[in-house]
Structure formats: structure tokens, C-alpha cells
Amino acid sequence: MKLYLDFQPCQECNTMMAELSSPEMLFADAKTRADESAKFLRHLTYNHDEVVKAVMNDLPKQKRDQEPGFYK
């Protein structure tokens, strides 16, 4: 799934995005890439509430009847 977000990245975002798209990272092993991606997503989650709100608006809402019975 791809989400296109319109937000103003901070300097730390720009640095992380440059690192994620660097040749070293593109040819790094899967664990390293996953760790760096997770670090960037954590930064977005904790520091850019407009990104979280946009994602929540774009994701389909889960219906109550789809919840497992032990949550009721």
C-alpha cells in the first residue's frame, strides 16, 4: 500500500530521507533497511501529528462487527 502525504518535512526528515535513498542503503541487507525505515516511521509518528491524521483519514475504517469477540 502506498500513501502520498502532503506535509512539510523538518530537517531531520530530510536527512533521514536522503539516507534512506542513498546507494549504501539501497544495497544494504534487508534488516538494516527495515531498521532505518522503522526509525523514520517512528519519527513521523511522534513528531508530525499531521501525518498521523492524514494516514488515519486515508485508511479504511474497521467495522465493529469485524472485531473479535474477546474485545466486546
Q: Is 66 within a domain?
A: no
Q: How many structural domains is the chain composed of?
A: 1
Residue 4 lies in a domain: no
Q: Is it the case that residue 60 has pLDDT exceeding 80?
A: no
In a domain, 71, yes or no: no
Identify the domain containing residue 39 by its residue range.
Answer: 29-59
**39 in any annotated domain:** yes
CA-CA distances (angstroms) from residue 70 to 65, 66, 67? 12, 12, 8
Residues 4-58 pLDDT 10s: 777 889 999 999 999 999 999 989 999 999 999 999 989 988 998 888 888 787 7
DSSP run (H or E) holding 53: helix 49-58
34 located within any domain: yes
16/33 Cα distance (integer angstroms)? 12
Winning range, highest mean pLDDT, from 33-37, 60-64, 65-69: 33-37
